[in-house]
Structure 1
Amino acid sequence: MTSYVALLRAMNVAGTGKLPMAELRRIGEQCGFANVRTFIASGNLLFESDLGEAEVRARIEAGLQQYFGKSVPVFVRTAGELTATAAANSFDDDKPSRVMAHFIEEEPVEAMLAEARDVVGERMALGPRSIIVSYGEGIGKTRLKLPAVKHGTARNMNSVAKMAAMLA
């Protein structure tokens, strides 16, 4: 069995993306996954499955489509990939809560970082299917525009490290 995390885009504890964690666990269980659990109320589903990544994603997306009546982007990573993302954080001089891993579908390339606009103190690095950004003063104050992550989802490095440990 492979340990996975599914990172849902635009999930939170209130508003249009509200999804109770019990409901997310239920969706994971209905998909036939084992050892299903969630981590904080921001759309993180941890589980085990013998299925490949594409089938895992398809099943979760179908369950979310049924629940919400609309498509919800899902980014699936193995335990190893999540651990590699945590290890790719070269910004250990910043608070982990101010460093975000922006998960995207493809492997990033340097050209993606070159497209960044309104960079004022933010630092960026490539990770495995992610772009890691140190926000220094905090994400709430940034004006950074990074087109490569527009359709991705982000988690701070505290959360990435904790989920990697939970999957280990």
Structure 2
Amino acid sequence: MNVFVILLRGINVGGHRKVPMTQLRELLSNSGYVNVQTYIQSGNVVLQSPSDSKILKQDLEESILNHFGFEVTILVKTNTELKAIYKACPFQNEEKEKSYFMFLDTSPNTEGLAEVSKLEYIGEKVSITENCIYFFSANGYGRTKFNSNFYERKLKVNATARNYKTMLKLLAMAKETESKL
């Protein structure tokens, strides 16, 4: 069994695309996944599965579509991938604690990457890798010019952002789940 962190994008925002976490846990447990846990209402799941990431992603997207009646973009990371993303964060101390991790489902488009790498905005720092955009904004994520939607369009990827505190919680949940193996 492998430990996976599942990140659902764009659910429970402004009363749209509602996915109650109790229903999601029940759906996933009834689908054969083990030690299913959720964290807050923004679509964070930790679970165990014998599947690989691609099969798991397809199965989860299909299950959610069939149960809730709408498509949800899902990003799947192994516990090992999540730890590596966290360790690679280029920010330190207070900047790290106020940073966001924008998880990517594929490597960024090279033309788009060249374009966005030239952009600068006072009080913001960005570092882009093949699987994550590390983002710090002194003014907060809600006020940035360069949010997930911007990067998705420019880099031709699916992305979903999680803040530092959520990242720490997901790492702790994945570690706990891994100890149950």
TM-score normalized by the length of structure 1: 0.88
1:152 CA displacement: 1.2
Amino acid at match of 2:18: K
- The answer as to whether partners of 1:109 and 1:126 remain within 8 angstroms in 2 is no
Distance 1:95 1:23 in 2: 36
Distance 1:101 1:148 in 2: 16
- The answer as to whether partners of 1:94 and 1:134 remain within 8 angstroms in 2 is no
Deviations 1:68-112 (A, max 9, x none): 322110000000111111111121243555311111111347765
Pick aligned residue for 2:166 from 155, 159, 163: 159
Distance 1:79 1:128, change over 3 A: farther
Which range moved further: 153-162 or 104-113? 104-113
Amino acid at match of 2:53: E
Distance 1:64 1:97, change over 3 A: farther
- The answer as to whether partners of 2:104 and 2:130 remain within 8 angstroms in 1 is no
Which range moved further: 60-69 or 127-136? 127-136
Amino acid at match of 1:92: Q
Which range moved further: 35-44 or 141-150? 141-150
The size of the alignment, in residue pairs, is 168
Match of 2:179 in 1: none
Structure 2, unpaired ranges of 5+? 176-181
Match of 1:140 in 2: 142
Would you say 1:106 and 2:89 are equivalent positions? no
Match of 1:65 in 2: 65
Distance 1:112 1:90 in 2: 21
Distance 2:141 2:130 in 1: 21
| Superposition CA RMSD, Å | 2.2
Distance 1:110 1:89 in 2: 21
TM-score normalized by the length of structure 2: 0.82
Match of 1:126 in 2: 128
Which range moved further: 121-130 or 2-11? 121-130
Which range moved further: 48-57 or 141-150? 141-150
Distance 1:151 1:21, change over 3 A: same
1:113 CA displacement: 4.4
Match of 1:82 in 2: 82
Distance 1:87 1:110 in 2: 24
More helix by share: 2
Distance 1:19 1:76, change over 3 A: same
Which range moved further: 24-33 or 10-19? 10-19
